[in-house]
């Protein structure tokens, strides 16, 4: 046995060391990467609903103690001491319904249900107290007799004393679930940890997706004073003149911390365009921007502290997909995205040369609109000017 086997113990309690039960199913991380145990599984609505319905259904069934009569019939043994315990109150702290609901919940989650049997001096049963399955172990002594060891916590009823208590099998009501030897059941949650882990992962991913997307929006006509992030109030104070009027994506600042996804968002370019990413200078250059060109442009906001965004650019053809990666940091703000179609950029350039005086001059083919033909003519004109 290696040193780590002695230091760490998996939480598939109770451990079964009885003869013929050498199988074990471990909790821990599922194949979806989510750690699954009985308590985390109950946060899944499907698991919680199933456990609640079954536990309440069994707890709500009538429970009576009967005795056989001499004629072969039977009658309720209302005067028997166990009738009150089973039908009304197994202990002063809970009703029969709550007691059975608790044991059924333990059985469905841990695969075993335990209750301590309290007796008086004459050996008569006077109370039943549920015991937590994850703190119980079942074993055999040298003579082959079963015994139970229970780890006590401060939340337990004062019927058990000490840190670890050894109980005889006659002092424990044990209801095992499905198992390989009929003595100890195995946890249904441990058996299905991969399915539950995948469900938890999908639920968390969906929650993050909608929380992320609700604060993202497409904006038009970028100007100084525009709010930078959908979940913050700080605004741009200095936007390069080349980007004023651009179409842009207002992202969510809290999206900066996502690290469990490769992409925050993707979009398809509707026309040949230059896409610009404004990245917080505290971030540096993420790996997903390795193919982008870092420009001399920058913009700032009025946050506290004031943030400077260095601008990266890349050219995309119509129909291409732009993938926006993650940052995975809390000590920064999220990036912003700007888009300028090539047609607009060429028109601005030509207007800046001085030979064209207003935007209508961009309609070089005089058909009343700016389209792909104008783009071709502008590119030809630009080549001549250069």
- Among 20-29, 158-167, 173-182, the range with the most confident prediction by mean pLDDT is 173-182
Same domain? For 15 and 123 the reply is: yes
Same domain? For 103 and 238 the reply is: no
> Using one digit for the tens of pLDDT, what is the confidence trace for 192-230?
888 888 888 888 777 766 665 567 888 888 999 999 998
Q: Report if residue 164 sits inside a domain.
A: no
Q: Report if residue 2 sits inside a domain.
A: no
Higher model confidence: residue 70 or residue 369?
A: 70
The bridge status of strand 336-341 relative to strand 273-280 is antiparallel
d(CA 79, CA 20): 42
Higher model confidence: residue 330 or residue 363?
A: 330
Same domain? For 237 and 369 the reply is: no
> Using one digit for the tens of pLDDT, what is the confidence trace for 256-295?
776 655 666 788 888 788 899 999 999 888 888 988 999 9
d(CA 309, CA 277): 9
pLDDT of 254 reads 81
Same domain? For 75 and 190 the reply is: yes
What is the token pair recorded at 170? 């006659």
Mean pLDDT of 161-179: 86
Mean pLDDT of 169-195: 87
Percent of the chain whose pLDDT exceeds 90: 30
Is 60 exceeded by the pLDDT of residue 2? no
On average, the pLDDT of the chain sits at 80
Lowest mean pLDDT among 74-78, 151-155, 265-269, 289-293: 151-155
Same domain? For 192 and 221 the reply is: no
Q: Report if residue 159 sits inside a domain.
A: no
pLDDT of 354 reads 42
pLDDT of 352 reads 57
Say if residues 299 and 254 touch (Cβ distance below 8 Å): no
Tally of domains in the chain = 3
Lowest mean pLDDT among 16-25, 71-80, 95-104: 16-25
Higher model confidence: residue 378 or residue 32?
A: 378
Residue 305: is the preceding peptide bond cis (ω within 30°)?
A: yes
Same domain? For 258 and 113 the reply is: no
What is the token pair recorded at 2? 């290696």
Same domain? For 33 and 181 the reply is: yes
Higher model confidence: residue 329 or residue 62?
A: 62
- Among 145-154, 165-174, 208-217, the range with the most confident prediction by mean pLDDT is 165-174
pLDDT of 298 reads 94
Lowest mean pLDDT among 13-17, 121-125, 133-137, 138-142: 13-17
Closest among 283, 268, 386 to 336, alpha carbons compared: 283
What is the token pair recorded at 102? 């608790």
Is 80 exceeded by the pLDDT of residue 26? no
Q: Report if residue 211 sits inside a domain.
A: no
Is 50 exceeded by the pLDDT of residue 24? no
pLDDT of 258 reads 67
Is 70 exceeded by the pLDDT of residue 345? no
Is 80 exceeded by the pLDDT of residue 134? yes
DSSP secondary-structure letter at 287?
G
**pLDDT band at 5; cut points 50, 70, 90:** very low
Is 90 exceeded by the pLDDT of residue 102? yes
Q: Report if residue 71 sits inside a domain.
A: yes
pLDDT of 97 reads 95
Contacts (Cβ under 8 Å, ≥6 apart) of 74 = 66, 67, 68
Closest among 326, 70, 85 to 209, alpha carbons compared: 326
Is 50 exceeded by the pLDDT of residue 385? no
Same domain? For 378 and 290 the reply is: no
Q: Rounded to an integer, what is the distance from CA 380 to the centroid of its chain?
A: 54
> Using one digit for the tens of pLDDT, what is the confidence trace for 183-198?
888 888 888 888 888 8
Same domain? For 292 and 364 the reply is: no
Q: How many residues does the chain have?
A: 386
Higher model confidence: residue 122 or residue 374?
A: 122
Same domain? For 266 and 371 the reply is: no
Hey, is 321 helix, strand or coil?
strand
Same domain? For 285 and 358 the reply is: no
d(CA 67, CA 73): 9
What is the domain range of residue 353? 347-385
pLDDT of 262 reads 62
**pLDDT band at 105; cut points 50, 70, 90:** very high
Same domain? For 290 and 259 the reply is: yes
Mean pLDDT of 127-144: 90
Q: Report if residue 242 sits inside a domain.
A: yes
């Amino acid at each position: 046995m290696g040193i780590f086997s002695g230091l760490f113990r998996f939480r598939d309690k109770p451990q079964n060391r009885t003869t013929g039960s050498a199988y074990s199913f471990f909790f821990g991380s599922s194949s979806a990467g989510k750690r699954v145990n009985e308590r985390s599984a109950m946060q899944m609505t499907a698991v919680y609903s199933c456990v609640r319905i079954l536990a309440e259904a069994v707890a709500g069934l009538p429970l009576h103690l009967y005795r056989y009569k001499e004629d072969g019939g039977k009658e309720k043994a209302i005067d028997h001491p166990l009738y009150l315990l089973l039908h009304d109150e197994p202990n002063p702290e809970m009703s029969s319904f709550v007691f059975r609901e608790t044991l059924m919940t333990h059985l469905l989650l841990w695969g075993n249900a335990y209750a301590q049997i309290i007796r008086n001096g004459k050996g008569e049963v006077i109370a039943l107290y549920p015991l937590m399955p994850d703190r119980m172990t079942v074993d055999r002594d040298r003579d082959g007799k079963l015994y139970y060891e229970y780890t006590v916590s401060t939340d337990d009823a004062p019927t058990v004393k000490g840190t670890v208590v050894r109980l005889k099998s006659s002092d424990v009501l044990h209801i095992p679930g499905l198992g390989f030897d009929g003595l100890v059941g195995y946890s249904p949650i441990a058996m299905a940890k991969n399915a539950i882990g995948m469900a938890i992962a999908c639920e968390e991913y969906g929650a993050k997706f909608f929380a992320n997307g609700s604060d993202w929006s497409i904006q038009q006509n970028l100007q100084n004073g525009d709010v930078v992030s959908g979940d913050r109030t700080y605004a741009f104070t200095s936007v390069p003149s080349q980007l004023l009027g651009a179409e842009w994506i207002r992202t969510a600042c809290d999206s900066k911390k996502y690290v469990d996804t490769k992409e925050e968002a993707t979009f398809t370019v509707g026309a040949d365009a230059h896409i610009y990413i404004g990245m917080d200078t505290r971030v540096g250059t993420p790996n997903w921007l390795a193919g982008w060109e870092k420009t001399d442009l920058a913009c700032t906001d009025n946050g506290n502290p004031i943030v400077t965004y260095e601008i990266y650019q890349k050219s995309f053809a119509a129909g291409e997909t732009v993938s926006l990666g993650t940052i995975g940091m809390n000590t920064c703000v999220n990036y912003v995205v700007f888009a300028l179609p090539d047609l607009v950029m060429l028109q601005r350039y030509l207007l800046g040369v001085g030979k064209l005086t207003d935007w209508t001059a961009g309609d070089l083919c005089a058909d009343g609109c700016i389209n792909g033909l104008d783009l071709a003519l502008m590119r030809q004109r630009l080549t001549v000017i250069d």
